[in-house]
Amino acid sequence: MQIFYKFFFDPLKIRILNYFFGNYNIIYYPKKIKKIVKDTSKINSSNDLNILYNIFNLNLESMNQTKFILNEDYIFDENKLDLYWNVNMNSNKIDIEELNASHRFHWIIISLSNNKNVSRVKFIQDIEKWILKFSDNEDKIAWHPYNVSERICNWIIFLHYLDSSNKNIINILLKQINIHLYFLINNLEFPASKKVNNHIVNNIRAIYMGGQFTMNPKLINLAKILLKDKYSDLISINGTLNESSVHYQFLITKSILEIYLISVAVNDKELILFLKSKVKALLESCNFFMTNPKIGMNKIPKIGDVSPDIPFSWFNPFKKNGWRNIWKFCEVEKDYPNNKIEMDGWIKLKKYDWTIFSFSHPRLDEYPSGHGHDDFASINIFFKNQPILIDIGCLSYDNNNYGKKSKDHSTLLINNKSVISPGIGYKSIKSSKSRKLSSVNHDINSITWKGITAENILWSRKLEIISSKQAEIIDICKGNKYKLMTSYFYISNDLKYENKIDNKFKFRLKNMSCDFNFDNDAEIQLQDSVSYDNYGIEKKIKLLVASYTKPVNKSLVKIKLYDSS
């Protein structure tokens, strides 16, 4: 009966509710939240403002740090605004996330983070054009609650970079922000399923920032109640988001950190008390994923989805670049140490000059969950902070697109199938059973994965750090229905291919050589492939594919680095 409700009755109920009431509606809110929202009168159009100058870097110094280029680091082209805003929402010519980005105005904040002297005139014209075309609340994409939340925050930040000569647009934006806030509190991202995700935190960030900016105590109170009510549903005591993605870990940290910085600026003692230790845990979690915080975000694993919201490396809380060119945050990574080997399913081995990451997918009720990929037993390897084996990110959120499937990761397939049968919803019956038959163990030197496939084939994989210059990967696969094992190794574009001798492939990494040495039983192919350091934006890389047509008692891959001078 429980299975009937979970996989048949409840989904049918949700579809009916969505049909009659839409994806987001106040009827889905928890009772206490519903009451608070109903008690919040329509937001007035007062011109009172709380200018938050002390949380933003407003000085106009030139920026010498990395610049973020629209349409290269970010899936958005400012020159295509007219196309975005006139396209049919059912068109397949533009990625939906590119269209969403056009309604969020984050490109303004990215441009300001590159150069605070950039002209505001074009930005003001774009905002006025948007208001003229979309202020009637009728466009579903423009007025999706997530896009509304982003727009509120980005417009408020932008307002702080305007002077008194822009009084007219300031008044227009203030009116629009009030309209947006009223819309948002009545369209919070509480779905009919009652299962919230990171989107609700973005809603809360917008309501709190908007409430403080417009000096509306009811909005401020609503934001704090929502945050206290939903925080532990999404984020563990260790500070990790439960959505199986490194980039989303940084995004949720960004949102909570911004709320916290505002609370400190306005001396909101209640919220400071609630968030202080949580922000510390979030920042420690971010530090966990960095091989070295000082060298930038391009040297961290891109496990799980890469978000379209911002360029991958734009938010690094420990580096004066991108986000920290806008927000005043001066903490350093040494204040947030994280030397754990395992944290909520995330595994990090750090020995000699090696750093190795993997995600064990600890949820047993479905696989993969949240923004996770079908990447069980996938490996990310770094040497001296330089990526060797990588996760390629993803092309888009379309499940049929490149980056999400098992073969798009540095893992193994058996008979051309994933070692765990992926699936959510009713398919989670199968994926849950498959995940429960798999295990992950680790010590300071190695990680071992084991499992039984849906075809009853036993398999295992072991990664071990052998010495200061050598690591090994051993795969074993046996079963009556065994036909083929295929192992994939996605090579960072920091490695440049040089040559091969038999089954040894030589790459160059700066002043070092990196050898991938496969045993003689393997048929090896070197292929051209791509990775996505930022959502939807390709980078050329190499891929090694090892195929075994006989039962594998022990396949061995040695990865060795040595000075080439």
Quick one: average pLDDT of 460-486?
Answer: 94
What is the pLDDT averaged over residues 84-111?
Answer: 84
Could you tell me the two tokens for 35? Answer: 């009451």
Q: In what order do the strands lie in the sheet with 504-509?
A: 439-442, 446-452, 458-465, 470-478, 552-563, 512-518, 504-509, 496-501
pLDDT band at 197 (very low <50, low <70, confident <90, very high): very high
What the block records as the tokens of 39 is 């008690």
Model confidence at 330, pLDDT cuts 50, 70, 90, reads confident
- Cβ(325)–Cβ(349) under 8 Å? no
Count other Cβ atoms within 10 Å, centred on residue 119.
9
The pLDDT score that the predictor gives to residue 516 is: 95
Task: Please tell me the predicted confidence (pLDDT) of residue 26.
Answer: 86
**Cβ-proximal residues to 297 (8 Å cutoff; 6+ apart), any chain:** 250, 290, 312, 313, 314, 315, 316, 319
54-72 per-position pLDDT tens digit: 888 877 554 445 566 665 6
Going by C-beta distance under 8 Å and a sequence separation of 6 or more, which residues neighbour residue 134? 85, 103, 142, 143
Chain centroid to CA 274: how far? 25
pTM of the model: 0.93
Question: Comparing C-alpha atoms, which of 229, 220, 234, 219 is closest to residue 183?
Answer: 219
What pLDDT score does 166 carry?
Answer: 84
Q: What's the Rg (C-alpha) of the chain?
A: 25
The predicted structure's pLDDT at residue 488: 96
pLDDT of residue 63: 47
Give Cα 13 to chain centroid, integer Å.
Answer: 30
